[in-house]
Amino acid sequence: MPHDEPDRSDETPVLITVLHEDAWFLVVNKPVHLLTQAPEGIPSLQAQLLVQHAREGAPKPFIGIPHRLDRMTSGAVVIARNQRALRRLCDQFAARTIEKVYLAWVHGTPKPSDTFVDSMRKVENEPRAEIVDSSEEGSRTASLSYRVLGTRSGSSGQSESLVEVQLGTGRMHQIRLQFASRGYPILGDSLYGSEVSWGHRPEHFRESPMALHAATLSFAHPKTAERILVRAPVPAGYPWGMLAEEVSCGMGV
């Protein structure tokens, strides 16, 4: 965490929507502008879930975090409810057996479908990543596949495309960087080249909202190994649009 992160302990807590509840895990829909984890005193998904699931006279609930979404990315996050579930879910993420599908609105009109494979790495001492040659120190392979679900004209007449993205790997800012490096930055993602605002930005938002949403999550139940598939609805209303809402409810994902 940056040392200059302001204390936001006085912000109004955000109620977290639970999409699937089980004795071993939860799947929740993370709102925009909420860190997955954070130091005490800074609002986070983990901290809010501890509050929501606390029961008077009961032990502190176990809220284990096996993976994260970027602060400004919304969508499905699986939460472990005991240590064994956390270990088994972490093992699935490490083995890449958990399937994640994202929705994003990007600038321009990419090919109808494609696979991106790059070498990328985190930029030292900066909160961003970069595309590099595979021979560079710290480089790691990043792969994803996508398909275009629809296009529209933006507020200034520019073309915008809704893409469904299937991750092959899970690198820092992977979707954001791989699309931006090809001239299709995610709307609202000023870090990687977008010059279009994505909806209203409240004063307390540290970053601008962007059009990236973790739409589905599929994994093996940490006890029974049954395959679990959970869909997370996109944030309500514009600027996601009806097409994205329909897709996130199962018409294409």
In angstroms, the CA 190 to CA 197 distance is: 9
Structure-token pair, residue 12: 């109004």
The closest alpha carbon to 34, from 18, 24, 45, 47, belongs to 45
Residues marked as catalytic: 70
Cβ pair 51, 43 in contact under 8 A:
no
- In eight-state DSSP terms, residue 64 is B
Cβ pair 208, 197 in contact under 8 A:
yes
At CA 9, angle to CA 198 and CA 189, rounded to 5?
20
The closest alpha carbon to 184, from 157, 148, 215, 219, belongs to 148
Specify the residue for token string 């699309």: 179
